[in-house]
Each structure stands twice: as C-alpha cells, then as structure tokens.
Structure 1
C-alpha cells in the first residue's frame, strides 16, 4: 500500500508547484526582456560614438537628450532605406559607370531635423534675385562628349566645409573660378570664399547670398585672392579691402548666365568649364544622401542651396547624371559629391538645377 501511494504523492506535489508558479506569474509583472534594454544601450552607445567622431558637445544634459532623440529619429529614417543596393566605388574614383538610385547613410548632420538643417547648411538668398540675361552657347560649339569630369583633369580642388555659416553661394562661386583658372593657366589654386562672405554687399554673409552677385563683385575687382591669403573663418567679418582689390590669385573679367531650364545648354557650358547652379536641398533624403543617382524628392519651384556642376555622364544604356561638388565636407554624400539625375522630363531639372546656372569668364 505504501509503495502504491508514492506516484500519487509525486503527482500531487507536481500539481501544487505548477499552481504556485502560475499564481506567481499572475501576481508579478513580466520582467523586462534583455534584448529591449540592450537595444536602448546600443543606440546610446552608437550616439556616443557618433558624438566622438564629429566632436559634438552640447550645452547641458537636456540639450544632449534632445539631440539624441533627433538622432534616433534620423537613424530610424535612414534604416528605412537599408534594403537598397549600394553603388560601387567607381563613381567616386572618377570612372563613368552605371550606378543605382540614391541611398542614404548617417553623417555629421544626424542631430538636426530638416528645418534646422536647411537653416544652418544651405544659404541661397532669393531676395531681390533677378537672373541676368542668358548667354546661349554658339552653335559651332554644340558638340557634346558623352562624359565630362573636371576632377579627372585636375581642375577641382578638394571638397571644403562651409560649417554652419550659410555661405554655400560663395563656395560654389569659388569652385567655378578655380576650375576656370586651372583650365586657362594649368594652375590649380584654392581660392578665398571668405572674401566674398565679408565683402559682397549684394549678399548677406552667413545669412545667405547668391553666387551671381559674388561673381559680379569679383569681376568688378578683376579677380580673387587665395584661400591661403584670406582664409575661411565661417563667420562674417569686416571686409579686408586691400585683399579684395589686389594680390589676386585668379582673374575674373565677368560672368555669364546659361539659358534657364535647358539641360542641353547647361551641358554645353559644363563641357567647357565648371558651372554654379541653385538647387533645392531641403528633403531629409538629400540631408543624408550617401551615393547613387539622386532623383528626388525636391520642392517644386523652390531652390535654397548652391553647388558647382563639375561634370556629367551619359552612359549608353545606363543612367544620366550631373556631378555636383558640394560644400558639406567629404563625409557627406559620395566623398562630398552628389550625382543628380540628368535630362529629366521637367525643364527645371532635378531639384531645380537648370533654373539659374552661371559661369565665370576671364
């Protein structure tokens, strides 16, 4: 009899233990899952690494937390494009290739929302803007090569960084003059953006400006001094008139406007030299552009940023794109460049690039 009761007692004990476990589970909340806590730790660690990479410092813990939340939102946005195929490195190496649609990645602008980014890092000021009369390229110069890249001929200086001064217009103008000077003389010189920021009264320094007024100013003075002689500070200072008037490292006699909304005329101009253009750079996808052919989104009928077109390519059976040098450092985009879709069906071009192109003359 005693031996037959042992299985029954064992079963009873098992049922009792099971009931106690169930009651305990019902009474206590479930513990946090280790993976959720780890994910938050990982995100904050990634943010700290990002801060260290770009030497980011914030005024107080509250501001740092605010920037962390913006950075996390931007990281989530970038993650939405993770499935896109990245391009090969050939484009950045100046080799014409068929490349894919654009993709995005984290960069130094990760702690800024779209409005903050546009306010701090664009800079085209349309106030009072009236484009000069265009200068069509003569018919005898109408032959176009399939690909042009002024970087490969040594006519483009390294990518620069405008900082949070809204001076893209000065950088676009300087890059166009640097290219022309190299083509004319064989000498590549990094030219001063600061002289335009300080001295161009038709613009507003770090409050925004226009490449055409900057080119007009330098043409009226006969040229522009070097970056070495008049270095960039990222803030508007008093104009050094002596350096504006003399000691020029590159001559400028005037500037011309490409006929607007005509990508063929723009290509004819770019085949001869780098050209400044105005574009819309307000989309988050543009803020975090990392490579590929950018096709949009863009704001219709609005431009807010200046870049320099330093080439284009029309691959047979592949993508057509403009090569635009930006002034947001080589960390942004494809080594500092953006490839904008060429010969689109709307006349203004991708992000309005064909609306108001200009090039210097010497």
Structure 2
C-alpha cells in the first residue's frame, strides 16, 4: 500500500515546491518570509509604542509597513558610488551617495507624513519681511562649517504630529545665534511660538519669518524648561512671552533668495532657517549620505522647515547640513545632508535656497 502512494507523494511535493517558487518569482513572500516580517512588525510597534483602534486598521498599517520594507530592501541593494564627506563632528568619512532605512514612519505613506509631520504654511498671513541682506563677497566663508562641533546646536528634537516644524527651525536658529553671541547654549521654547504667533497657525502650520518677527518684537524667547513643548495648540502665556526670556533677539534678516553663495556666507556666521520639499518617499526614509532628490525645487512646493547648521565644500561633493525636527531616530542622527551648488537646481536642492532667514541680536 505504501509503495502505491509514493508517486503521489512525490507529485504533491513537486507541486508544492513549484507553487512556492512561482510565488517568490512573482514577488509574493513565502510563509517564512511573512513570519519574519510579522516579527519585525511586532518589534517595530513595540519600539514606537504603536497602537491601532481596530484589527482592520492594524492590518492596513501592516500592509504599508510591508510595502515600505520591500522598497527599502530594493533601494538598499549594493551601491558603488561613494563620496568623501565630513562626519557628525568634522571628521572625514566615506559614505554612499544616499541611504534609506526603516524609522518611525514605517506605517505611513509619504502623503501622510506630509500631512502630519511637516508644517510650512505658505497660505498663512505673509509677513512683510525686511528686504534681503546681501553680505559682502569678501565676507569670511570657510570651506567647511559645522556649528554642532562648536556647541551651538542643541540635541535633535521631535515635533510630533503637530505641524510645528516652522517653530523648531526658528528656535534652532535662535539657539545657535545665542550660543555664538553669549557663549551659553540654552534650549528654547517651540511651544511659545505655537501658542503665541498669531501670524502662524500653531499645529496647523506656520512660517519661520513670522516666528522670528514675533520674538524680535517681544525682545526674546523663553527657555524650553520654563515653557515646555506639548505638541498641541495652547493658550499663550503672555507674561512669559513679554518678560521671561532665555535668549534675547533684536531682529531678523532674509538671505537673498536662490543664492547659495550668499546662504553659505550667512551660515558661516550662524545657523539659518530654510524651507524644503519633504514630500517624497526617499526623504521620508533617508538615513545617510548626500541627498539629491527626488524632490521639487519649486518655491510653490516647499512644505517643511529645517535649520541649516553647516556646509562643506572641501571633501568631494558639496553639501549642506540640515537639522530636522523628526527626532534623532530619523536620518543621520536627526540630520540630512543636502547636495550643495547643483547646477540643475537653481533654487537649491529641494528648494532650500528659496527663502532662508536668520535672527539678529
């Protein structure tokens, strides 16, 4: 009896193996692959304390996570193009042109990240900003500048799902100016800007120029310790806005638009705010290297605010060092290197040169 079943068993095994191979060739994960992905999904949820309101929503988010994981795997195939760049604290190192990796946005699509975690609002009331200030061409402009190595940059912060990138970018620029001027690095209050800047819209988005204008008109800004960040729209604590200042600010200036040479001279003096287009999948999962896109340089399509805290023109490819507000889990420890002086991007990579600002004492 046993020998009569042997051909059937062999046929069944052959059919099963053929089915698995066909599924893998078609891009469908085998059971073991799905099990491994489920394990990674569970660890990812635990790491970021992710909870979903229903099983349906959880499965939907798992599907997005799976697609993002597959795309990251495909993107991260071995690359041979390398560039010598400066590391986090000024040491030369060699890195691939750009890298991507899983992060806290693993269950989100680019449009969802754009809607929840950016925040430049170009429909907000446009402030009549001062005319751009051109710095003399003989101004000091070293080959490389990194304000982190000078202790003028606080640790990377996380804006949460409040669209307050504009407040974080403005605050980082003020923190840098204050350290350069006074010798003391003070972490300042983004929440004060979210609550008190009527020219912006709090967690619905805003502008760095209106934030800098508010702080300049009030003479300064409160420390983060005394006006803590909550990540929601709150009531303005007017007494702190008027009298409790952790850093003094006298005004602010605009860098001439679409002029990376002028921008570099400004950054050589202090950190500067900038707007960029952060709407692409590659930006969402950026983890290192020099980012060249894809992204838009169109001024009408910039949607996110960052702070330029340095640049380098000496080791191979040129790049800007931009501090983000998506936590140090994102990017290169919270930063992104954006290609500098790209001839095909007259507005700067991702539009970074369209409208930079910096505070003054």
The alignment covers a number of residue pairs equal to 346
Return closer, same or farther for 1:146/1:26 CA change in 2, 3 Å cut-off: closer
Contact 2:312–2:318 under 8 Å retained in 1: yes
1:122 matched to 2:118? The reply is yes
Contact 2:215–2:249 under 8 Å retained in 1: yes
Q: Provide, for residues 157-202 of structure 1, a one-character-per-residue CA deviation record: whole Å limited to 9, x for no partner.
A: 0000000000000000000000000000000000000000000011
Q: What is the Cα deviation at residue 60 of structure 1?
A: 1.4
Q: Provide, for residues 192-225 of structure 1, a one-character-per-residue CA deviation record: whole Å limited to 9, x for no partner.
A: 0000000001100000000000000000000000
Q: What is the Cα deviation at residue 94 of structure 1?
A: 3.3
- 1-structure distance, mates of 2:33, 2:346: 47
Q: What is the Cα deviation at residue 138 of structure 1?
A: 2.6
- Corresponding position of 1:43: 37
- Corresponding position of 2:196: 199
Contact 1:282–1:298 under 8 Å retained in 2: yes
- Corresponding position of 2:72: 78
1:267-278 matched pairs, under 5 angstroms:
267-278=264-275
User: Secondary structure at the residue paired with 2:279?
Assistant: coil
Contact 1:215–1:254 under 8 Å retained in 2: yes
Gaps of 5+ in 2: 22-28
Q: What is the Cα deviation at residue 63 of structure 1?
A: 1.0
- 1-structure distance, mates of 2:207, 2:260: 21
- Corresponding position of 2:334: 336
- Corresponding position of 1:107: 103
- Corresponding position of 2:185: 188
Contact 1:255–1:360 under 8 Å retained in 2: yes
User: Secondary structure at the residue paired with 2:16?
Assistant: coil
- 2-structure distance, mates of 1:171, 1:108: 19
- 1-structure distance, mates of 2:12, 2:190: 69
Contact 1:131–1:257 under 8 Å retained in 2: no
Contact 1:269–1:275 under 8 Å retained in 2: yes
- Corresponding position of 2:283: 286
Which of these residues, 244, 247, 254, is aligned with residue 247 of structure 1? 244
Q: What is the Cα deviation at residue 112 of structure 1?
A: 0.4
Q: What is the Cα deviation at residue 82 of structure 1?
A: 1.6
1:144-159 matched pairs, under 5 angstroms:
144-159=141-156
Return closer, same or farther for 1:25/1:357 CA change in 2, 3 Å cut-off: same
- 2-structure distance, mates of 1:89, 1:53: 31
1:361 matched to 2:360? The reply is yes
Contact 2:85–2:93 under 8 Å retained in 1: no
- 2-structure distance, mates of 1:119, 1:231: 24
- 1-structure distance, mates of 2:242, 2:276: 31
- Corresponding position of 1:321: 319
User: Secondary structure at the residue paired with 1:80?
Assistant: helix
Contact 1:96–1:315 under 8 Å retained in 2: no
Q: What is the Cα deviation at residue 131 of structure 1?
A: 6.8
Q: TM-score, normalised by structure 1?
A: 0.90
Q: Provide, for residues 260-287 of structure 1, a one-character-per-residue CA deviation record: whole Å limited to 9, x for no partner.
A: 0000000000000000000000010000
- Corresponding position of 1:64: 58
Q: TM-score, normalised by structure 2?
A: 0.90
Q: What is the Cα deviation at residue 319 of structure 1?
A: 1.1
- 2-structure distance, mates of 1:87, 1:61: 45
